[in-house]
Amino acid sequence: MMDDDALLTAIAAGDDQALRTLFERHAPWVAGRLRRAMPASAVEDVVQETFLAVWRGASGYQHAGEAGAWVWGIARRQAALWARRNGRADRMLDLDALVDQSAGEDPAAVATHRSDLARALATLGPADDPRQALARLVFVEDRPLTEVARRLGVPVGTVKSRVFAVRRQLQAALRGEVPNA
């Protein structure tokens, strides 16, 4: 039996049976997580779009980390696209938090997490600060870096270096440290 990395390599080479195997392995849990945060009528479409994106993007998979996490990242982006197309983007901003909360996490803990995150984001400066826009696009809306670069009018490499700096600042703020500007 092939592991997920080998399946993704085979998918990149055009093996549709490998895609079928990956789908059978991951679609049930992806659908289960999506069902906790979006209408049931949309879940099947989002799962299908997710695995179409896996098919198209398999050659870009870096084999770093878990393949399931990569698939979930694609599912999150597909869910966000569905939400924007259907006027529900405001309800889908933090799909992972919605999924975690509905999976039994204490609502008070979720609220505290969101409050902590809001305070950490505030350390990036006023709402019109470019770092706020970057954090919103990358960490809240989960936009692809190429799209973020296009929206901000900077090269992808610049986005990557800014994301690295913003992530460090947010992590420091979440730990209660005074972040460097």
- The domain locations on the chain are 4-91, 107-174
Query: Lowest-pLDDT range, 17-21, 46-50, 110-114?
Result: 110-114
Residue with the bigger pLDDT between 42 and 115: it is 42
- Secondary structure element (H or E) that encloses residue 40, with its range: helix 40-57
Residue in 97, 73, 93, 69 with CA at minimum distance from that of residue 83: 93
Q: Is the pTM of this model over 0.75?
A: no
pLDDT of residue 7: 93
4-91: CATH number: 1.10.1740.10
Inform me whether the pLDDT recorded for 128 exceeds 60. Answer: yes
Inform me whether the pLDDT recorded for 156 exceeds 60. Answer: yes
Crossing angle of helices 4-12 and 40-57, in 10° steps, is: 70
**What DSSP state is assigned to residue 140?**
I
pLDDT of residue 157: 92
Inform me whether the pLDDT recorded for 93 exceeds 50. Answer: no
What is the average pLDDT across 162-170?
Answer: 88
Residue 178: how many CA atoms within 13 Å on its side-chain side? 0
Residue in 166, 88, 124 with CA at minimum distance from that of residue 98: 88
Same fold, 4-91 and 107-174: no
pLDDT of residue 168: 87
- Alpha-carbon distances, residue 171 vs 37, 120, 132, 156, 175 (angstroms): 26, 8, 15, 22, 6
CATH class of segment(s) 107-174: mainly alpha
Residue with the bigger pLDDT between 58 and 117: it is 58
